[in-house]
Amino acid sequence: MTDNSNTLNNFLAQVKPKQMLWALQDKTSEDWVVLDSIAYENTEVMPLWSSAELAQQHCIDEWASYIPCAISISDWLEFWLEDLNQDGVIVGVNWLDDNEYLEMELADFTQALATIESLK
């Protein structure tokens, strides 16, 4: 079992310098990876990673046609938050292959993300 606060803190520490988080986007359709939640019924989750390298590790099997795409923190706060909130989507944080899946409510994740936003 993973320590959720460590997973989130590591994610935030890795995202902070470049102010970017990473999701997987289909090369052709430009759709983003969103899948059924492991922890919550009737809920979809959007996995996010703190680096392109971590995201790239998941571009296999059913996600082989996807590529890591950066989302800036400012874009997340300005555009993504509202759309995902309307769709009831939650966030998967730095998923690994060893069954360590942290899923967070969108508001909780975004609140944590806002604490590292660089307001330059």
Contact 101, 48 (CB under 8 A): no
Residue 20, sorted as left (phi over 0), alpha (psi -120 to 50) or beta, turns out to be beta
> Is the separation of the CB atoms in 69 and 112 below 8 Å?
no
Determine the Cα–Cα distance for residues 35 and 71; give it in Å rounded to an integer: 18
Question: What pLDDT, on a 0 to 100 scale, did the predictor assign at position 69?
Answer: 97
The mean pLDDT of 22-43, rounded to a whole number, is 94
Q: How confident is the model at residue 120 (pLDDT cuts 50, 70, 90)?
A: low
**77-92 per-position pLDDT tens digit:** 999 999 999 999 999 9
Mean pLDDT of the 13-20 span: 96
Buried b (16+ CB within 10 A) or exposed e, 19-55: bbbbbbbeeeeeebbbeebeeeeeeebbbbbbbeebb
| Better pLDDT: 28 or 99 | 28
Residue 53 pLDDT exceeds 60? yes
